[in-house]
Structure 1
């Protein structure tokens, strides 16, 4: 297989693939941090190529810098927040030592892993020894300079080198452990221990590392970034100019977008394993590995890596990552199978992202550093679900090393740095079928799948119930319950009732239909203009027995959800899930219906049919309905589950977790034909604001079998959106072919923006809008425009656009 390994909980102090909190690094000397580095900003790849390879003294300096990046340096202050981190790491090592098997003739290293013989157990063993090596070298640690700890660490490394990890032994278990997981842990331990590692042991370990790293066949995107870090660190340990140059060449090759396969795309998408959106998982790991290497090699006096070389990484931060991170947490829509890991969540993934940004800002140009610091400060201050500066025993040292804590603490407490304001924006990721709509205080994303992207990934026994996690699924994060997804959501949520989805209720088996592509004829895509946009998801599952056309029209503070063509040819009931909100272990959030004084679903276990014009859920926001919808059902329930239900890893917790949920859904009945629905969501709105919006008919929509239309009329800013599955007329729009379109009328201008959600059409698409205009101001590439006194028409040529939008701006 090509999946990265699932590492045990004990491996979390290192953990690239299991936690996807990135990697780490180490040191024992000084590191030169460049606050601005303007002098390096003009360095080109030509200058880098001329920089040569390190001298013996420079190799030693790089090893010292790498060690400091992990330990925080010999001058680590004895103060908040560092003492808490060190104490947490010490406690981790104490647990490892208590489980260390020191018996003569031992056949395993750890008493709590005595039954483990696979590759993940091997990596876990190296990770524990790495943690022990780090604490031996960390100032202020209880174990700093402890000779007994050193002896046990060296003995453990020797045992693994002799019995497990040597050239030619690879095979059992997961390739990731042999090629990446174990080598990275070994390299960190060897570098941080320095001359304390016997030369013969160092030689045998480095020989094995070289064997697996240089021979790895899995060299794309995040995997290549991990391997490149291994290769660079290996070259620094063995002081090989040839290997250093080859690894640096691989590094430069990673600073590029891809047009197919794994990696970052120009539209901000990130794909791993050919078809899976993974920005917050593998993409995050790739960013962190690159950030670590750049930070390590980014001394402008050497020009091994200069800001000009990694300029595209800054673009990724803003285009690929920033739209998907809300108050320190990643949208679960791009976490892949990581959602099924009890030791990794949206906020630990967000912390890994910020850790990478912190490393990069330290070697960026002055201007770039300023914006990156602003980004970091905003998130570390706003994240109340996970304190960036508090040791997390679940992830161990993870990506947030003591060195990074020092840099981040400085940013946090620098009064001259202003945190980045939260955006009001809509972002479309055409290549990976993800759509984000956000405003200050909340963020909402939609996950789809198509002929381009897979429905979900199950691998290494992880994410067994991911069936509907990209079925037009809605992920809503807000300031009222920032820990919503990390609060035991995934083991306790009903996996058949993911918010935003339209499904039949057939039972599913573990991992059923994972990594399946959608139909080539299914519309999945979107378009955006500033803080408005349209996304579409076409459901065509189980051999065509379950069909639905779904749209999500984003207009400022409103999201309009519509569905049509809902058809099922089996005997299973069909539902559209409006909401399934985790309200915590003891949540009692009120639900108001049609009046601020009328509450429903008042008791735990309450199940009601709701005659709702509007609903308000405390801590969530408002919902507006209108006549013609199917029956609305509501349920206040308590659900229990185990992490082991969704993750078969032997070390996944098996204890029962319980959380309360508020669930709303439309019941389409059994075997519906051309069913439909429509409602509007007002994130974080008050009950009174929801009632006023309903009374004033503030948001309106029209659902037809082959098209959906919605609009919001606001003072000086009218916005209209539509989705067409075929040639049709709806509202103010007439379209000649499948298309999504958004129209914004403001400040005497009318912008018409459209895109091809199929990404395969070649014939021009004509869209006519029944709104007056007085002139044509501008057209983008692939668009021509015309007008009359009462209409505006755009003709969009979608060939080769790959989901990119076209726009025309008219004078009104």
Structure 2
């Protein structure tokens, strides 16, 4: 009996010690002051990410078309339902620039009350007019993202926009801006971004947690849309979309990962590892010098200058900080993209067949060669929104062979 009691006592003490240790490992619940500080930290990172100092000349030109009577711009067609390059978005773009001009020290319009009044009236006009595009992307991604960034930046101004105006603008963004969980891949991430902006402005912890979860949860291997087990990327069904939608999801994920770096919201290590593998071994491997191979771009192949991916050096620069183990590899990628080193710089011979994507990529220091096909396992390159109407047969079989990377630049548009 004594032995049983002794054994029980030892087990009880062991359980209590283990349970105490586990509780100690859990992050302490954040109090209101800590949460408020976290929102401020996130918003400051967002401001730094988008910081611009608009030239006074551009502001002056935009003001020439500003309608003092109602806050509109006389050269904007607010009734347009054009599916690409939607004209009404110019209204938001101009107010966006006005907001940065008003809040950026050193700008000639810094603290200018007349410009501030125009921003307020312009936001009121946009809310009342409520332009709508037949292409959902403008309503649920482009417009809400710009509005969110603008409102975050305006919080730093000498004068604050009326609380009622900010609240009703954000309420409409929530109502009309879509829910990230209803989408997949890059679209989910893009919608989650404006949820993050809105959650920071309203200090809504539930919405912030939901948004971050939707940014990170697509970083898994899947047989549906997203990252495939062969390290390729699909979007719009079983279409190869290493470029295009691949660009978008990398832009959004690395952006959010930088915002949350060093906080309790940081990207999980296993997801960072998957992301890094895709970027280093597939995404940047399809870029020779600064140009991406045309057959991984989806319908975007028809757009002017689309193969030039020099701007994606930003993603690599972010990853060099997030994934320090591979920082040297990212630095070589950046050097090639920015033209500081030749296309062959730091390339190792590599041959990869992507069995899910019907795609083969062969990389050598002196050249890159690939083969793109289609089968019962994959889908043809798409067309949509009036673009890419002539690439039906490209999926039947096409190749790139390139040494400098720019051999196919602007041929398809």
Verify same fold: TM over 0.5. Answer: yes
Structure 2 contact 77–88 (Cα < 8 Å) conserved: no
Q: Following TM superposition, by how much is the alpha carbon of 1:224 offset from its aligned partner in structure 2, in angstroms?
A: 0.7
Q: Equivalent residues in 2 for 1:675-754 (5 A)?
A: none
Q: Following TM superposition, by how much is the alpha carbon of 1:240 offset from its aligned partner in structure 2, in angstroms?
A: 0.6
2:165 matched to 1:243? no
Distance change >3 Å, CA 202–CA 426, structure 1 → 2? same
Distance change >3 Å, CA 451–CA 192, structure 1 → 2? same
Task: Report the counterpart of residue 126 of structure 2 in structure 1.
Answer: 160
Counterparts of 2:383 and 2:27, CA distance in 1 = 42
Task: Report the counterpart of residue 301 of structure 2 in structure 1.
Answer: 339
Task: Report the counterpart of residue 379 of structure 2 in structure 1.
Answer: 454
Q: Following TM superposition, by how much is the alpha carbon of 1:325 offset from its aligned partner in structure 2, in angstroms?
A: 1.2
1:400-455 CA-to-partner distances (Å, cap 9, x unmatched) read xxxxxxxxxxxxxxxxxxx9602322222222222222222432222222222232
Distance change >3 Å, CA 297–CA 152, structure 1 → 2? same
Q: Which has the higher strand share?
A: 1
Distance change >3 Å, CA 484–CA 137, structure 1 → 2? farther
Task: Report the counterpart of residue 161 of structure 2 in structure 1.
Answer: 197
Q: Following TM superposition, by how much is the alpha carbon of 1:337 offset from its aligned partner in structure 2, in angstroms?
A: 1.6
Task: Report the counterpart of residue 473 of structure 1 in structure 2.
Answer: 398
Counterparts of 1:104 and 1:379, CA distance in 2 = 47
User: Which of 392, 407, 412 matches 1:484?
Assistant: 407
119-128 vs 173-182, greater mean Cα deviation: 119-128
1:60-105 CA-to-partner distances (Å, cap 9, x unmatched) read 2221121011117xxxxxxxxxxxxx67x6665555444x341535
Q: Equivalent residues in 2 for 1:434-449 (5 A)?
A: 434-449=359-374
2:69 matched to 1:104? yes
Task: Report the counterpart of residue 276 of structure 2 in structure 1.
Answer: 314
User: Which of 256, 259, 279 matches 1:296?
Assistant: 259
Structure 2 contact 229–356 (Cα < 8 Å) conserved: no
1:262-301 CA-to-partner distances (Å, cap 9, x unmatched) read 101121111111022111110110011000000001125x
1:572-617 CA-to-partner distances (Å, cap 9, x unmatched) read xxxxxxxxxxxxxxxxxxxxxxxxxxxxxxxxxxxxxxxxxxxxxx
Q: Following TM superposition, by how much is the alpha carbon of 1:248 offset from its aligned partner in structure 2, in angstroms?
A: 2.3
Counterparts of 1:52 and 1:334, CA distance in 2 = 44
Distance change >3 Å, CA 114–CA 231, structure 1 → 2? closer
Task: Report the counterpart of residue 218 of structure 2 in structure 1.
Answer: 254
Q: Equivalent residues in 2 for 1:22-41 (5 A)?
A: none
Q: Following TM superposition, by how much is the alpha carbon of 1:383 offset from its aligned partner in structure 2, in angstroms?
A: 7.2
Structure 1 contact 236–244 (Cα < 8 Å) conserved: yes
2:340 matched to 1:358? no
TM-score using structure 2 length: 0.82
Counterparts of 2:392 and 2:188, CA distance in 1 = 29
Q: CA RMSD in A?
A: 3.1
Structure 1 contact 232–243 (Cα < 8 Å) conserved: yes
Task: Indicate the structure (1 or 2) with the bigger Cα radius of gyration.
Answer: 1
Counterparts of 1:49 and 1:250, CA distance in 2 = 21
Q: Equivalent residues in 2 for 1:405-420 (5 A)?
A: none
SS at match of 1:271: strand
SS at match of 1:431: coil
User: Which of 317, 327, 330 matches 2:292?
Assistant: 330
Counterparts of 1:274 and 1:377, CA distance in 2 = 34
Distance change >3 Å, CA 453–CA 221, structure 1 → 2? same
Counterparts of 1:63 and 1:129, CA distance in 2 = 19
Counterparts of 2:208 and 2:322, CA distance in 1 = 20
Q: Runs of 5+ in structure 2 lacking a partner?
A: 1-23
How many pairs are equivalent? 383
Distance change >3 Å, CA 48–CA 446, structure 1 → 2? farther
Task: Report the counterpart of residue 36 of structure 1 in structure 2.
Answer: none
Counterparts of 2:315 and 2:129, CA distance in 1 = 35
Distance change >3 Å, CA 215–CA 247, structure 1 → 2? closer
1:459-489 CA-to-partner distances (Å, cap 9, x unmatched) read 111112222332311223322xx44333x41
Distance change >3 Å, CA 146–CA 440, structure 1 → 2? farther
User: Which of 116, 134, 148 matches 1:187?
Assistant: 148
User: Which of 345, 360, 369 matches 2:327?
Assistant: 369
2:179 matched to 1:221? no
Q: Following TM superposition, by how much is the alpha carbon of 1:217 offset from its aligned partner in structure 2, in angstroms?
A: 7.0
SS at match of 1:461: coil
Runs of 4+ in structure 1 off by over 6 angstroms are 46-51
Counterparts of 1:216 and 1:58, CA distance in 2 = 22
Counterparts of 2:273 and 2:30, CA distance in 1 = 21
2:228 matched to 1:269? no
SS at match of 1:284: helix
1:11-45 CA-to-partner distances (Å, cap 9, x unmatched) read xxxxxxxxxxxxxxxxxxxxxxxxxxxxxxxxxxx
SS at match of 2:347: coil
Counterparts of 1:338 and 1:51, CA distance in 2 = 45
2:38 matched to 1:58? yes
Structure 2 contact 220–271 (Cα < 8 Å) conserved: no
Distance change >3 Å, CA 420–CA 94, structure 1 → 2? farther
Structure 2 contact 180–192 (Cα < 8 Å) conserved: no
Q: Runs of 5+ in structure 1 lacking a partner?
A: 1-45, 73-85, 386-418, 492-812
Distance change >3 Å, CA 309–CA 430, structure 1 → 2? closer
